[in-house]
Amino acid sequence: MTTTFSPTITGQSLIAGRPVEGSAGTARAINPATNEQLEPLITLIDGSELAEATAAAAAAFDTYRATTPVERAAFLERIADNIDALGSELTERAVLETGLPAGRIEGERARTVGQMRLFAAVVRQGDHVQARIDPALPDRAPLPRLDIRQRHIGLGPVAVFGASNFPLAFSTGGGDTASALAAGCPVIVKAHNAHPGTAELVGHAITRAVEDSGLPAGVFSLIFGAGTSVGQALVADPHIKAVGFTGSRGGGTAIMATAAARPEPIPVYAEMSSINPVFVFPGAILDDVDTLASGLVGSLTMGAGQFCTNPGLVFVPTGTQGDRLVAAASTALRATQGSTMLTRGIADACAAGVSKLRNEADVTVVAEGRPGPTENAPGAVLFSTTTDTFRDNLGLQEEVFGAAGIFIRYSSEDELLASAEALEGQLTATIHATSSDNTAIAPLLPVLERRVGRILFNSWPTGVEVGHAMVHGGPFPATSDSRSTSVGSLAIMRFQRPVSYQNIPDELLPAPLQEANPWKLNRRVDGTVVSVEESQ
């Protein structure tokens, strides 16, 4: 394990292991808590420098995808060790560039290295290869069957766009990078320009792991550039075979359009906008309404509301019980103080979204928190309206990226179901209820299954566990492909495709499909899963 690792932030891209000073202009990181510029100057690359990165990734692909499970897993674990070894330097830089507290950054670092190690375990275990064998049946009547075998391979070089709201877990060494590398795909990361120093430090950690693992340098590159030019050029580059993106709906759909317009269209796995509705049933309000209200406000304001799972809509019954929840939540919200948002641009966009809600007909403000003491730290806001207004006004489904939420008051189960049917695709939906509400909940569940990727019961959506059963995805516009997840071990499947081998001599077959099973994988033989123990 690496114990000391202190790279210098230079403001240069890392292209196939080599620091490159860009020739297409400069930028600076800005501390959002003070609006002060940070050193060093960041240099932005041009098209020729981008082409060097994508060509190196393409040249590295066949060698990298041929690595054994042990080799690839060890590489991912080296990355995790190196990110850990960056120590306080990484935390301090990320705090400066994002305005997030040190505790949040440390927690996110743990998640980042944890998911890298999770994918190392996935690769070492090997089920993602999905090896299938249909043995030859020469005596089958009326026609014999030839030997047919199948496995999944990596798609090729993957472009990953760093996210603004997770400078570690969804950025340079985040889940998209980890899952693509686990699938056997070289990665080119387009760093988010709001936290370039953080991105470069993690980029050095990955670059060193590439070198120490004896892999081709093109397995990883980190580039700085304008999203509208270099980012779009990266997606259009013929060497790129898939894209991972976390960001706005506008940015995601622009990338999707570019990817679809290529001579060879490629998949884009974009996580975009979600307002994550919460459905409160009467039983949940009968007892400890203050706990329910504080949980809601805590989830709404966590991280200044800059989570993609932030609960933006809360369906609450009309009448005395619902009024109690609205009043308790309002009291809790007024006691909150805003915290620094990630960038001035994000704070301005949040203010614009809140202003638009203030001006919507039949939408009222029920509570406001206090602004924070730093720059770009607006107070949280809660609004209220009716189900009729919600269904008639599509603007109420537009994501406000910040601590702003709307109570939707419903007077019947039919109104609630109609409102659920009117929802766009979401990452999550949350139900707060007791067993006394089960009859009313039953018809809602199939509606939510069609609308969201994760359904929660009596908890809050702003915690996303990185594991094997997690789905962080959902129908459009939550993501560009509802069949996938960007969190958890299933994320590896986004960057793989099946290849079938018919009647190939055993000595020419890839290792996962050879009779000797040298990688010791679980395999499906003639439709039956055969474990490693059973095959020995």
| CATH number for the domain harbouring residue 317 | 3.40.309.10
328 plus 450 within the same structural domain:
yes
Q: What is the pLDDT of residue 140?
A: 96
366 plus 284 within the same structural domain:
yes
261 plus 287 within the same structural domain:
no
On whether residue 8 sits in a domain, the answer given is: no
b/e map of 157-177 (b: 16 or more CB within 10 Å)?
bbbbbbbbbbbbbbbbbbbbb
Name the helix (H) or strand (E) containing 497.
Answer: strand 496-502
Q: Which two tokens stand for residue 194?
A: 């709001």
409 plus 525 within the same structural domain:
no
On whether residue 480 sits in a domain, the answer given is: no
Contact by Cβ (8 Å): 312, 400: yes
DSSP string covering 231-274, please?
IHHHHH-TT--EEEEES-HHHHHHHHHHHHHSSS---EEEE---
Range of the domain at 527: 504-535
Q: What is the pLDDT of residue 535?
A: 64
On whether residue 153 sits in a domain, the answer given is: yes
Contact by Cβ (8 Å): 478, 427: yes
Say whether 384 sits in a helix, a strand or coil: strand
On whether residue 233 sits in a domain, the answer given is: yes
**What's the CATH number where 45 sits?**
3.40.605.10
On whether residue 333 sits in a domain, the answer given is: yes
Task: Provide the edge-to-edge strand list for the sheet that holds 364-368.
Answer: 364-368, 381-386, 404-410, 313-317, 278-280, 426-432, 452-457
On whether residue 499 sits in a domain, the answer given is: no
Domain count, the chain: 3
On whether residue 466 sits in a domain, the answer given is: no
DSSP string covering 423-445, please?
---EEEEEEE--GGGHHHHTTHH
| Options 52, 97, 271, 399, the catalytic residue | 271
Task: Give the angle subtended at the CA of 334 by the CAs of 329 and 337, to the nearest 5°.
Answer: 120
Q: How far is CA 373 from the centre of its chain?
A: 30
284 plus 231 within the same structural domain:
no
Distance between CA atoms of 450 and 424, rounded to whole angstroms? 10
Beta strands 187-190; 220-223: pairing state: parallel
| Options 49, 97, 200, 308, the catalytic residue | 308
253 plus 393 within the same structural domain:
no
236 plus 311 within the same structural domain:
no
Name the helix (H) or strand (E) containing 90.
Answer: helix 87-98
Q: Which residues of the chain have pLDDT under 70?
A: 1-4, 535-536
265 plus 351 within the same structural domain:
no
Active site residue 52: no
40 plus 99 within the same structural domain:
yes
Please choose, from the candidates 309, 298, 303, 299, the residue with its C-alpha nearest in 3D space to the C-alpha of residue 339.
303
At 372, the amino acid letter reads: G
DSSP string covering 280-336, please?
E-HHHHSS-HHHHHHHHHHHHHGGGG--TT---EEEEESSHHHHHHHHHHHHHHHT-
255 plus 323 within the same structural domain:
no
Active site residue 308: yes
261 plus 302 within the same structural domain:
no
Distance between CA atoms of 79 and 175, rounded to whole angstroms? 13
Q: What is the pLDDT of residue 2?
A: 47
Give all strands (DSSP E) within 98-254, no chain letters. Answer: 132-134, 148-154, 158-161, 187-190, 220-223, 242-246
On whether residue 243 sits in a domain, the answer given is: yes
127 plus 230 within the same structural domain:
yes
Residue 21's φ and ψ, nearest 5 degrees, are -80, 120
